[in-house]
Amino acid sequence: MPSRQPVLHHQPIVSLDDGAMVGVEALVRWRRSESELVYPDQFIPVAEETGIIVFLGLWVLREACRTMVRWQREFPRDPSLTVAVNVSARQFAQHDFVEQVSRVLAETGIRPDTLKLEITESVSMMDTEYTVEVLTQLQRLGVCVSIDDFGTGYSSLAYLHSFPMDTLKIDRSFVAQLDRGEQGRQIVGTIMNLARDLKIRVIAEGAETSEHVEELKTLGCDFAQGYYFSRPVEPAVISGLLAADPELAGSARGSECDALPA
Ligand code: C2E
Ligand code: MG
Ligand code: MG
């Protein structure tokens, strides 16, 4: 295996309805040597600063879409598996970001509604007018939009209503608070209520225990990811999980990007 290159790991996203894997989040790592991986917290900030993130981000997007198309063909499901890709502030600010996404869609042949772009709440609030404009264009391409690490930034409620987004990801710090009983439940419950008002679906990050999963189900959360289900793993491991996971054709659970019924 060549060293000193980026690699993608994937973490399953699971429906809390029936436990099926509905998609993955692509998470980049840097392979420093055959046995050593460097994690994004250690190199994404530098890549942002130097501008390298623009090339790295495009590589991640292309590679994540290519891999997902392969899984969709090998493991057809209804609804189709989805892939979530993180977008950094600098990538998002590029004047041709929407064209880049459009090109990758055409090159890889991925169905746009099975690609989900994650932008963090703090990026979405940097220039709200620009954000609304870009998110609208992305949705016109048919791509889904997700607000990542929700609850850690300072969203303006007024803007949230005008943001064209499909899902919201509750930051794992709030899921961890579920261990603290009623207070933690109230925080997650408040975010769930907000999402219901906005008619969007919620994915909880950082579900680590069966208690987290049970609480999230009780609070009406649709989807989750976390160490309880699986850590981020190499593509071959995902293929194995998909092969073992029974096909749920025609399932009534809906896709993560479907709007909630009115
Ligand atoms: P994120 O997008 O919020 O991704 C979720 C992070 O939480 C991942 O860390 C994942 O491994 C971790 N995680 C998932 N489940 C659990 C759990 O149950 N417990 C705990 N403690 N952690 C869990 P990772 O892979 O180290 O990524 C960290 C951050 O780096 C990501 O946060 C994302 O903001 C950024 N990142 C990762 N890949 C990319 C990329 O391709 N492009 C950009 N721009 N950013 C990326
Ligand atoms: Mg993310
Ligand atoms: Mg997150």
Mean pLDDT of the chain: 91
Judge whether 254 lies within some domain.
Answer: no
With a 6 A CB cut-off, is 10 part of the ligand 1 pocket?
no
Structure tokens at 11: 């973490």
Question: Residue 41 CA: which ligand is closest?
Answer: 1
pLDDT, tens digit (0-9, with 9 covering 90-100), for 150-190: 888 777 777 778 888 999 999 999 999 999 989 999 999 99
The whole-number average pLDDT for the span 189-207 is 94
Is the pLDDT reported for residue 1 higher than 90?
Answer: no
Best mutation site among 5, 10, 27 for ligand 1, i.e. most ligand atoms within 8 A of its Cβ?
27
Judge whether 124 lies within some domain. Answer: yes
Q: Does residue 167 lie within any of the structural domains?
A: yes
Output the pLDDT for position 163. Answer: 85
- Note the residue count of the chain: 262
Distances (CA, A) of 202 to 151, 169, 229: 12, 6, 17
Q: Which residue has the higher pLDDT, 153 or 41?
A: 41
CATH number at 72 reads: 3.20.20.450
CA atoms within 13 A on the CB side of 42: 8
Provide the residues around ligand 3 (an ion) whose CB is within 5 A. Answer: 148-149, 205
Ligand nearest to the CA of 146: 2
Q: Where does the pLDDT of residue 262 fall: very low under 50, low under 70, confident under 90, or very high at 90 and above?
A: low
Q: Judge residue 31's burial from the number of C-beta atoms within 10 Å of its C-beta, 0-12 exposed, 13-18 middle, 19 or more buried.
A: middle
Question: How many Å lie between the centroid of ligand 1 and the Cα of residue 221?
Answer: 20
- The answer to the question of residue 256 being in a domain is no
* pLDDT tens track for 130-158: 999 999 999 999 999 999 998 887 777 77
pLDDT at position 253, please?
Answer: 57
Is 56 a domain residue? Answer: yes
Distance 149 CA to ligand 3 centre (A): 4
Cα distance between residue 32 and residue 4, in whole Å: 5
Residue 254 clears pLDDT 80, i.e. is over it: no
Model confidence pLDDT, tens digit, residues 85-116: 999 999 999 999 999 999 999 999 999 999 99
Tally of domains within the chain: 1
Q: Which range marks the domain in which residue 177 is found?
A: 5-244
- What is the structure's pLDDT at 260? 65
Whether 12 is in the pocket of ligand 1, judged by its Cβ within 6 Å, is no
In a domain, 84, yes or no: yes
Predicted pLDDT of residue 153: 76
- The number of the ligand nearest the C-alpha atom of 226 reads 1
Q: In 3D, which of 186, 99, 91 has the Cα closest to residue 143?
A: 99
Atom in ligand 1 nearest the alpha carbon of residue 39: 26
More confident residue, 262 or 148: 148
**What would the mean pLDDT of 25-29 be, rounded to a whole number?**
98
Assess if residue 255 is contained within a domain.
no
Residue 49 in domain: yes
